[in-house]
Structures are given as structure tokens and as C-alpha cells.
Amino acid sequence: MKLMLVLGARPQIIKSAPLVREISKESEIELQIVHTGQHYDYEMSKVFFDELELPSPLINLGVGSGSHAWQTGNILIVLERVLLKWKPDVVVVPGDTNSTLAGALAAVKLHFPVAHLEAGARSYDMRMPEEVNRRLTDHCSQLLFASTENCVNNLYKEGLSKDHVFLSGDTMYDALLQHLPRALKNDALDKHALEKETYGVLTLHRPENVDDRRKLENIIRAMMKIEDLTIFFPVHPRTKKMLKVGGLWKALMRTKHFKLADPVRYHSMLCLVRNAKIVFTDSGGLQKEAFWLHTPCVTIRKTTEWVETVQMGANTLAKNEKMIIKKAREFLATRDLKETLRKLPNPFGDGQASAKIVGSLKRFVAS
Ligand code: UD1
């Protein structure tokens, strides 16, 4: 049985790691990892392969950055050749990036079955490139592996057949459980001179937040006003570029309660989120990780695909300066919040999503 896994961006490496580990237990499965090259900086890609102990990709398509059409189109063109050469039984695509969509589209056009990890997540905001990628990928996949019941229901609402939908749980949760013991021994707090529960973690990279200068300024202003917390801010390359263009970078460097850093590794991030008082983010994955680590999360967006975390009170949406400050203050004023969050049920499965997915893939190919 030949499985091809197509990935290219940082979160996809994390989502794939437990699946690769599970596949490696199966001698009859030959795994071909294809890296699209969407992320190419050492600290956005290779470092995660090393840390999560993933085998090197068989091939890197070296596509790199560009507009959506350019990036997606180039992956399609190169991947078509790879697919024709390797002829996999199933092509697995995780998440919702341009690499996900291009992988799915290249495969389905050549009649290779597609399996989508994180199927059915919906923000219902088609202005998000990831929402477009998710929807289109789901509708050309034959195996839809959903993280939660809510994701399953979203797929049914769109008329997708029950025969193709599987409630697997979330492979990011598998990854977290596998890596947490090591993450907690990490020296990230010492390295960044942070003290437990006295800081917030901030990440920003969504185009709607960082590519619009006024929006970015508005968010940064809110964070500058939350002075009673140290704000630890590992900066995504896209965001760094925009902060420098807008002249905000220098202002941040001068702001006492800010600690700027390069993107951090997976274990460091888990350790930093676990020990933070609060998380501020526009990332999808970090919302879930904050939830699993019982740290309240202010999501700097109008919508989220992980509505379960908001419904349970662990996560809240804030789209501008005023809301960010208000929501942060509410969380910070709630007594024993972490204890309350610890008691919440987890809708993302039992940490065995990867094993279930491999079982379904084997049955699918054998049938
Ligand atoms: C992509 C995904 C997003 C995911 C995120 C994780 C899409 C549409 N978006 O967003 O869903 O949450 O990855 O990080 O696929 N850059 C570098 N070095 C790198 C990678 C990117 O400098 O290694 C810079 C480039 O200037 C590039 C910009 O970041 O133009 C954006 O990169 P891109 O991969 O297009 O999107 P992300 O914002 O990273």
C-alpha cells in the first residue's frame, strides 16, 4: 500500500507527525512524504521535522512564497508529475493551507483518492483563504477525517455522504499528548526570561490582520495597553515584514513589557502556552493547543473554525483594540480560571486519532 502525504506549512508538519509515527508501525505501508516548499525558512519547517522526529521528505517541490494563484498553481504543476510517477493508493492532505488544496486538486484530477485530515472545520468566512481551501478540499476528498462532532455535522450539512465521513479526533491532540512530557522539561521559560503565569503569548500571521496596516496597528495598540502582563511575541516572517514596513517594529522594541522573538519550536511553544496566563492569537492550531493546556485564549479574529472552544468559554473572539482589551480583562479577572478550564470535556478525541485514521485508510485500500 502506497500512501503519499503532501505538506508544506508549519502546522501541517505538526498535524502529520503522529500519523507518520503510526504508519511507521505498519510494514505493509510505504509512505512518501512530499514537501511543497511553501514554508522554507529553517525555523518554519526543517526544525519541526527534526523535533518531531519525522523522516525527511522524499522530495521538496521548492515552490516557496507568492500570491495564492502562483503558489497553488505551481504546486499543482509540479505535483502532477510526482503523482504520475509514484502512483499512490491514497493521497493524504492535512489542514487548510494552499498546499492542502493544491495536493487534493492535483490528486483528484488524476483519480487518486484523497484523504483530508481536519475535514469539516468551518469558520463560514469565505474571505479567509483557509476557509476556501478547507471547503474545496473536503468536496474533492473521498475520506474525510473530522476532528469533532461539530465538524462531522458541518460536512453532513453540505451534503457530503456518511460513507466518506469519519469522526477520528484531532491528530494535533495526539501530537500534544506524545510531546507534552518532553515539552514541560523544556528551558523556554529560562531562555526567554519569563515567569510562570505572569505573561501572555501573542502570535499573529493572518493576512486580514497583518497585511492591513491600520488593522495591525490597532491590534498592537491593544497589546501595548495590556501593561500588567509581559507579552511574549514570537514573530512570523510575514508579520515581521509588515511590522517593519509600518514602522511598528522599532516601537515594539522600545516597549518594556514586550519580548520579541523568532518563531519558536514546537516543544517550546507547548511549554510557553502551558505556563502563560493567557494566549492572544489568530492561529487556528494555537486556539486548540491553548484549550488542551487549559490556558484562556483571546482569538483576534471575527470568526473561528473551532467554535467548540468558544462555546465552552475557554476561547473568545475579539476583532479590534477595544474588544481585545475588554476580553483579556474579563479572563484576567476570573478567579481559578485555569482550574475551571481543566475540568472541561475535550471534543477533539482521545489522542488516538492517528491510529483510527490508519485503520480506516487500510480498510479503504483493501476494499
Ligand atoms: C500559511 C497558511 C496558514 C497557516 C500558516 C502557518 C495558506 C493560505 N496559509 O500562512 O493557513 O496557518 O501558513 O504559518 O496556506 N515566509 C517566510 N519564510 C517561510 C514562509 C513564509 O519568510 O518559511 C513569508 C513569505 O514572505 C511569505 C509570507 O511569509 O510571502 C507568507 O507565507 P505563506 O506560506 O504564503 O502564508 P502564511 O502566512 O505562512
pLDDT in tens, 297-309: 999 999 999 999 9
Q: What is the mean pLDDT of the chain?
A: 97
What per-residue confidence (pLDDT) applies to 314? 98
Does residue 113 contact residue 90 with C-beta atoms inside 8 Å?
yes
The catalytic residue among 179, 205, 236, 267 is 205
Which residue among 97, 98, 210, 262 is best mutated to probe the pocket of ligand 1, counting the most ligand atoms within 8 A of its Cβ? 97
Does residue 222 contact residue 200 with C-beta atoms inside 8 Å?
no
Whole-angstrom distance, CA of residue 308 vs CA of residue 216: 27
CA 233 to chain centre: 17
The three cell numbers of residue 36 are 511543497
The three cell numbers of residue 200 are 501572555
Specify the pTM.
0.96
Annotated catalytic residue 205: yes
Give distance in angstroms: CA of 314 to centre of ligand 1: 27
Provide the terminal-to-terminal Cα distance of the chain, rounded to the nearest Å.
12
Q: If we measure between CA atoms, which residue out of 71, 46, 50 comes closest to residue 61? A: 71
Q: What is the side-by-side strand order in the sheet with 114-119?
A: 59-60, 30-35, 2-7, 90-94, 114-119, 143-146, 165-167
**% of the chain with per-residue pLDDT over 90:** 99
CA distances 18 to 30, 177, 250, 350, Å, are 16, 10, 40, 13
Determine whether the shortest distance from the Cβ of 64 to ligand 1 is under 6 A. Answer: no
Query: Beta strand pairing status for 165-167 and 199-203?
Result: unpaired
User: Where are any strands of DSSP class E within the chain?
Assistant: 2-7, 30-35, 59-60, 90-94, 114-119, 143-146, 165-167, 199-203, 230-234, 258-261, 278-281, 297-299, 315-317
What per-residue confidence (pLDDT) applies to 323? 98
HEC assignment per residue over 54-114: CCCCCEECCCCCCCHHHHHHHHHHHHHHHHHHHCCCEEEEECCCHHHHHHHHHHHHCCCCE
Q: What is the mean pLDDT of residues 49-54?
A: 94
Determine whether the shortest distance from the Cβ of 73 to ligand 1 is under 6 A. Answer: no
Give distance in angstroms: CA of 77 to centre of ligand 1: 20
Residue ID of nearest Cα to ligand 1 atom 33 = 65
Cβ neighbors of 204 (< 8 A, separation 6 or more) are: 210, 216, 219, 235, 236, 239, 281, 282, 300
Point out the least confidently predicted range of 107-116, 223-232, 238-247, 269-278.
238-247
What per-residue confidence (pLDDT) applies to 247? 86
**Residue 246 pLDDT level (bands cut at 50, 70, 90):** confident
